[in-house]
Each structure stands twice: as C-alpha cells, then as structure tokens.
Amino acid sequence: MTDLPPSRRRLLRFAWAGLTFFYLLRLVAVGVAAPPNLPCVRPVTVELNRASIAQLCTLPGIGRTKAQAIVLHRVRHGPFRRVGDLARVDGLGPKTAARLVPFVRIVQDPAPARPR
C-alpha cells in the first residue's frame, strides 16, 4: 500500500470507512448491538367504569363518538358488570367488544359503608 499514490490511499480509506459505517449501522438496525436488558412492556388497560372519554379514545377502534356512547350507556344504565356488557352499547357490536377485552378491565367496588 505504500507504493500507491496519496489520492488512491485516501480513496481506499474513504471506502473502508464507508463500508465500516454501513455494517455498523446495519448491526444496530437489526438489533445485534442493542442492549440486552430491555424493559418488559406491559399493556395498559382502561378501567371501564371510571374512564373518561379521552381515556376511552385510547382504545383501538374507539373514537370520540363511540367513547361518548360508552359513557352515555354507563350513565343511563349504571356501571358495567362484565366486559361483555360493552356489546349492549349503541354502536358497538360483539366483535368490537371482543376485540377490546385485553384492553379494558372492570374493578368491582366494595359494598358502600353504612352511615352511622
């Protein structure tokens, strides 16, 4: 390599640096060079009887209109007892209710305390 002219050596160094950068970028993109201890991701669930319209809008397939229908049904008919009760909301069918099962939960409130 010492008998090459300086311009040729510069070109070879530039090509070597470009290939090295390309392979390092590819390793990072594939995940080989990613840190091994990534945190576990837990799905976030929405409490159906306390969720606001904005919180319900975060559910997949639920927009503002359907979220308002869920809250309206909750106000008119009382709290949901099962997740399957979502199928009774106007505008939500059984398929949509089944699709939402992993994303919603229902917390049963304990019996209210008696006044003394």
CATH number for the domain harbouring residue 89 = 1.10.150.320
Of 83, 4, 90, give the one whose Cα is nearest residue 51: 83
50 and 95, same domain (yes or no): yes
Q: Which token pair is 68?
A: 């308002």
Domain match, 53 and 95 both: yes
In terms of domains, do 15 and 64 share one? no
HSE-up (13 A, CA, CB side) for residue 99:
9
Dihedral angle at the C-alpha atoms of 60, 61, 67, 69, nearest 10 degrees? -140
**pLDDT above 90 for 75:** yes
Give the global pTM: 0.59
Which range is most confident: 2-6, 57-61, 65-69?
Answer: 65-69
Domain that holds residue 6: 1-34
Q: What is the pLDDT of residue 76?
A: 93
Residue 63's contacts (CB-CB under 8 Å, 6 or more residues apart) are: 57
State how far the Cα of 9 lies from the Cα of 22, in Å rounded to an integer. 20
Question: 55 and 96 share a domain?
Answer: yes
